[in-house]
Amino acid sequence: MPRQPDPDHARPDGVDDTTVEATGKIGEAFEWIVRARGALYTFHQEMGRADLLLGQGIDKLREAGHDELADELTETWLGRNAIEDRWTFEIVEDFDRTYFDVATAGERRVREELVEGRHHVHEAEMKAARRQDGPTGD
């Protein structure tokens, strides 16, 4: 007898295969957006750390008596915008407001309207179909 997904991931009654596949694809698209957002936050944190380290290096240049070079780097590099008119925190905020919040709402709406708000229905059915009895598939 084929296994069934756990109740939290089971296909609601009356939902067809194509709807489950569609919600699965939209969920997968959203997961890729989450990954992209994570990369953006990584960029934000790495740029922030680089700027802090640069500031420390400039301080050390001053300690070593290289004031002219320290002044030049302070004017041209330290605290510089990552893209025109924006630091990375502003890029992250723009992305969240312009894209991520809309994607989050859209993915949630699809799940709520089509599969009673359940996550990963398609994946749960794949898991149930592929599970084996025994020590690794219980």
DSSP code per residue over 8-48: GGSPPTT--HHHHHHHHHHHHHHHHHHHHHHHHHHHHHHHH
Coil vs helix vs strand at 84: coil
Q: What is the mean pLDDT of each run of 10 residues along the chain (138 residues)?
A: 81 94 96 98 98 98 98 98 96 98 98 95 89 63
Give me the pLDDT at residue 135, please. Answer: 64
Give me the pLDDT at residue 96, please. Answer: 98
Both tokens of 67, joined, read 């004031």
Give me the pLDDT at residue 128, please. Answer: 87
